[in-house]
Amino acid sequence: MSAVVAQCHYSFGLQRGVANNLFYFDEQTVIFPSGNNCVRYNIDQKWQRFIPGLERSQGMYALAISSNRRYLAVSERGERATITVYDLQHEQSRKRKVLNGGDIHVQEFVSMAFSTDSKYFIGQSGAPDYTLFYWMWEKQKVMAMVKTTVATNPVNQVMSDCSLVIGARESLGKEMVSFNPYDNTQICVSGNGVFKLFRYAEGVLKQSAFHKQETHNFLSHAWMSEERVIAGTEAGRLMVFESGDLRWDMSVTTKTTMPQDPDSAEGNDEETPQLPRVTVITAYSKGFACSAGPGTVYLFERTDDKDNYRKTREIRIPPDQCSHEPSHAEQQQIVSLVISPSEETVVTSTDRGQLYSITLSSAEMCKGEQVQFEFLSHSFHSGPITGLSVCIRKPIIATCSLDQSVRIWNVETNTLELYKEFQEEAFSIALHPFGLFVMVGFSDKLRLMNLLIDDVRTFKEFTVRACRECAFSHGGHLFAAVNGNIIHIYSTTTFENVVNLKGHNGKVRSIAWSGDDSRLVSCGMEGAVYEWNTLTSKRESESVLKSCSYTSVTISPDAKTIFAVGNDCTLKEIQACQILREVPAEDVAYTTIAMSRSGRTLFTGTSIGTIRAIKYPLSTQKDWIEYQAHSSPVTKMVITFDDQYLLTVSEDGCLLIWKIIDKEGRGLKRDKEITYAEEILITKSDLEEKNQVMLELKTRVEELKMENEYQLRLKDMNYNEKTKELSTTFVRQMESLKTNIQILKTERDNMEVANQETMSEVMEKHSKELQDMESANSQKLMLEYEKYQELQFKSQQMQQDYEKHLQQMDESKTAALEELTLYYEGKMQEKLLVLEQCQEESRIQAREFEESRKQMEEDGDREIQDIRVRYERWLRDERETNMRMKSDTGIMKKKFSSLQKDIDNSNVEMERMKLEQQKLQAIVKSLEKDILALKKAIQERDETIQDKEKRIYDLKKKNQELEKFKFVLDYKIKELKKQIEPRENDIKEMKEQIHEMEEELDTFHKKNTQGELDIAELKLKLTTTDKEMHKGLQKVRDVEALVRRFKTDLHNCVGFIQEPKRLKESIRDLYDRYAQQSDVLDKVSVDPNVQREYARQRDHLERNVASLKRKLAQDSVVHHADNVKIMQENVTLISEVNDLQRQLHLARSQVHDYKSLMRKKDLKQTNTLKALLSPRANPSNMVVRLNEEDEGDRIIQLQRLEIQRLREEIHVLMKIHPYRPPSTAKLPSLQTNT
């Protein structure tokens, strides 16, 4: 393998003809195709990363990105169409899976999309099948496929609803199928006269909705909600569908929406055929963005009713000022439109391979103005690139294209330096070694042009038509131009035709100069390679091979070896008129060739767009490294003079820059460092014009300075007058303030007296109220204490009576229990024997059931495996026999339904038996509860066991085959239930989240309105402060400028220190220039006595205000302490009342419980005695049980009723005595125990 390798460094160009050719990877990175690579371009840092295509690929057809922006899918053409999924989070963008059509031969996948959870993937194939594939892509498993339409109505787009709208190709239609963002099983299909909804269920894509729209050609659509889809048509209509039905129809050029009938909507396109095409739609949080004809994008936002949309902004592509017809740029068709994840930036691509962007904030700020896109990076070629050249003295690249443009690129900064369009197509280009001139071959003439600072201007024309090849010599003193089969050599200095090289019988396809410019090598279509002497115009060597039409030639650095490539798929090494070596290219034609300056490596370009690095000396074996570069044949290839970069261009309009490195990743060593020149060309007229502009600006600056000085003087005079007026007004205000202070002092004294009187009244009132409350509370406490003593005495008596009753009941209970235990022990023995027999029978039946179940499962697994194998082999046969089997399946379904009912009945019986068995086990543990239920359960179980044995025996013979299908169906039902339940839970959670988010949104709206008001106030303050700051800064700048001018003038005066007369005159000039009359005026001084009196009065007033503040603080502290003391006393009283209420509550509840227990016990005792004495009493019902849990529940219920009654009494008391002492703190509430 070669020791020198090439690494893709930078790319200029966008691959046209690729559907969905633009995505956002993150906020700063976009992904787009360039050549046969996908480029990850960082907008801020300007770096690029590359994802190469597959080997032997015929180019990319469509792209798709997952909603989490982790996976990128690339559809490529080849022998069979493939879809490659890449992991973008991997550093090298690792290839994850490769998908294809399986047994179906697919020529290309015209569009594709990921599901919202990135687990499923759909791909739409092209003509003639138009098959939609539904994959579980991580397992490379085709879940379902369906033909979406017929050839007469091609399907128009495939899109994943991830807020990423996908554009498409104009030449092939805009095929589109989209996932519902809320349901991975629902897919929307739109096309020419087709709008369908499919749903994936039971392994099949079934059509769930079909709206016949034969008159509409749908070019794009986007999901706006779970049921709403907006579709755009070729006639400029926006149609809103809900659940597959047309709800709204509006024109993209109108501002409001209008409901229409579907029948009337079908005829709208015939009336407005000239409306703009809606080629792409993008949904975002506020609404959606869509294309509206050439070079136009509209932004629509939801209205208040959330069903309609209104147009809020129009964004256009700007005219190209570098073109001879600037309006052509405005006619570009929008192909893709994406919005960044934060919805800050909109990026779009066009059908001419250009990328534009705009920030939405800037678009919203430009109200009332025309909003225009800007280039995302640079302007690219929109046609095949025909010429490529480099120079020695500057790091620049020159390219020309059939799009009539010439562009100058910088290889170090990766920028476009110059760009100009002409009226003719450019076929060839050559840069002068100095980098100041460029030679371009147009269809009518060969032009030599200057590379100016901001323009490319022609200064010499040569009558060479359609020059396909031109090249400067390495010294720059000569240049060669091809005219058909003749090579003209001109002098760069005199522009004379020095030599004409004639000898080729066919058109010359390539020329190359030797290192010393003494020889020129050329190759032609007739199969000849000639080596010319440029001084004598004679052929020094030749090699003719008529079976090969040569396309490119190069020469070794020592000028001894020639390398040529042609259409015979070989690389030829020629020395001394002989072909030394031929290296086959393996059925790929070489189109161009270049050799490094070191002579170690050859680089070749192929007809399929790949680049090969071939090690020199050549070997007949496959000794090269192949790189995926372009999607079309490589037209030109050049290596820079320092062997650092390889440059390639192609018919796909892309320029690729390759870094030449060794295997360790280091750049090649340079023989000597090249220092690039920084000189540029500029015409005398331009320079004079710029100098004239500078002089005008300088004079304008001086005039402005004079005006500013004059304005400053006027302002100083005005400010002095204003200061005098303000001083007089301030003195008046001070006098008025003094009078106000005296008035306030008197008012304060009056208020202090009034406050003292009110405080004394309030204190007396509080003391009286406290005494009254203490007396009332003491009386209440005495009454409550007497009641408590009485209740305590009654409770003691009730407790003694209750204990006596309990002893009597215990004695009767023990006697009854002894009798009943003897009776039921005998019964227990009998039932235990019966129970053991039943358990034995149930175990035997359970074993038989488990064995039959295992056998059925094994048979089912075997049959499933056999069916899967048979299905894969006989799928096509089964499709043919499907109709014949439908009748049989109908009969089998009837039989199956009847047998299924029997199986369900048997299952119900078995489940009931299990429940009864559990009941029996519980009865054994607690015989006192369920003896009667045990008898009935045993009898029922005996009967059901007999019936079950008969049914099981019959079902074993009849239902063996049907039970196998039954287990399969049960398994599928369980799986579907498992899938449905989490989705329902997710829907509930999402609804709750939406409700919470709506509440938060309301709060945020309120906060935003308040924030906007605050911002408006702050902006007003900021503007005033900015104005004041600017005025101050202007003053400072003026003073500094005056000081600088004075310093310079003073420095000039010092130069005349030896000449007194000139020194005197210069000082007088300084005085006249800088000393003004206003500076000489005496300052008006203030009387010092007035100042002292003013300071004395101010100190006196400040001392009085400070003393008043101290008094006010002391009074407030005293009042606060009194209030706190009163509050504490109120708190203690309320806590004592609460304690007494709790004690009263406990006493009443105990008395009530004792009474209720006594009544219940008396009733139960009488009932049990009656039952025991009655002769017809059943001995099984002669059990007297004291259920402690039931008694506890009754006691709790009675206590709750008593608590409710006490609460009502407290509520009545609070209404009678609503007064609470006034306080600033919160008192504790009255406590009630529940």
- The DSSP annotation for 1054-1068 comes to HTTTT-HHHHHHHHH
DSSP annotation string for 847-887: HHHHHHHHHHHHHHHHHHHHHHHHHHHSHHHHHHTHHHHHH
Using DSSP, state whether 890 is helix, strand or coil.
Answer: helix
Characterize 21-49 residue by residue with b for buried, 16 or more Cβ atoms within 10 angstroms of its Cβ, and e for exposed.
bbbbbeeebbbbbbbbbbbbbebeeeebb
Q: Looking at residue 665, what is its pLDDT?
A: 66
Angle between helices 927-958 and 684-873 (to 10 degrees): 80
Q: Would you call 852 exposed, middle or buried from its count of C-beta atoms within 10 A (0-12, 13-18, 19+)?
A: middle
Our CA angle for 63, 73, 62, nearest 5°, is 25
DSSP secondary structure letters along 244-292: TEEEEEEETT-SS-EE--HHHHHTHHHH-TTSPP---EEEETTEEEEE-
Name the 3-class secondary structure at 1112: helix
Cα–Cα distance measured from residue 158 to residue 179, given in angstroms and rounded to the nearest whole number = 9
Q: How far apart are CA 431 and CA 898, in angstroms?
A: 90
State the Cα torsion 940-945-951-952 to the nearest 10°. 150
Q: Which residues contact 1046 (CB under 8 A, 6 or more apart)?
A: 1070, 1074
Chunked into runs of 10 residues, the chain (1234 residues) has average pLDDT values of: 77 91 92 93 92 85 92 89 91 85 85 91 86 90 84 52 35 70 88 86 81 77 90 90 84 56 40 69 91 90 82 89 79 92 93 92 73 91 94 94 94 92 92 94 93 90 91 94 94 92 92 93 94 90 90 92 93 90 88 90 93 86 87 94 93 94 73 78 86 91 90 89 88 89 89 88 86 85 84 84 82 82 82 84 83 80 76 71 70 77 83 82 72 76 82 78 77 82 83 86 85 85 87 89 86 82 84 67 57 80 83 81 77 79 80 74 56 43 45 72 78 62 44 43
Task: Put the strands of the sheet holding 470-472 in their side by side order.
Answer: 470-472, 478-483, 486-491, 497-502
What pLDDT shows up at residue 209?
Answer: 64
C-beta separation of 229 from 241 below 8 A: yes
Torsion angle of the four alpha carbons 1077, 1078, 1080, 1084, in this order, in degrees rounded to the nearest 10: 150
Token pair for residue 104? 């179906």
Cα distances from 146 to residues 115, 637, 1013, in angstroms, run 18, 46, 58
Sign of the C-alpha dihedral, residues 669, 670, 674, 676?
negative
Considering Cα of 890, then 893, then 897, then 899, what sign does the dihedral take?
Answer: positive
Residue 566, strand partner residues: 550
DSSP state of 155: B
Q: What predicted TM-score, i.e. pTM, was given to this entire model?
A: 0.58
Angle at which helices 684-873 and 1088-1173 pack, to 10 degrees?
10
Query: Measured between alpha carbons, how far is 583 from 867 in angstroms, rounded to an integer?
Result: 54
**Structure-block tokens of residue 136:** 């579980």
Q: Are 161 and 222 in contact (CB under 8 A)?
A: yes
993 by DSSP, 3-state: which?
helix
Q: What's the pLDDT at 499?
A: 92
Amino acid at 820: L
Rounded Cα distance between 927 and 310, Å, is 78
DSSP 436: S
**SS3 labels along 916-941:** HHHHHHHHHHCHHHHHHHHHHHHHHH
Distances (CA, A) of 722 to 673, 716, 728, 736, 1118: 71, 10, 10, 21, 51
pLDDT score at 1220 = 47
Rounded to an integer, what distance in angstroms lies between the CA atom of residue 565 and that of residue 958? 80
- Tokens at residue 347, please? 């990026």
CB contact burial 232-247 (16+ within 10 A = b; e otherwise): bbbbbbbbbbeebebb
Beta bridge partners of residue 220, listed in sequence order: 232
Determine the longest span between alpha carbons in the chain, in angstroms: 159
**Selection from 472, 441, 462, 456 nearest residue 681 by Cα:** 456
Helix then strand then coil, in percent of the chain rounded to 5, is: 45, 30, 30
Between the alpha carbon of residue 98 and those of residues 135, 343, 628, the distances in Å are: 12, 32, 18
Residues facing residue 262 across a β-bridge: none
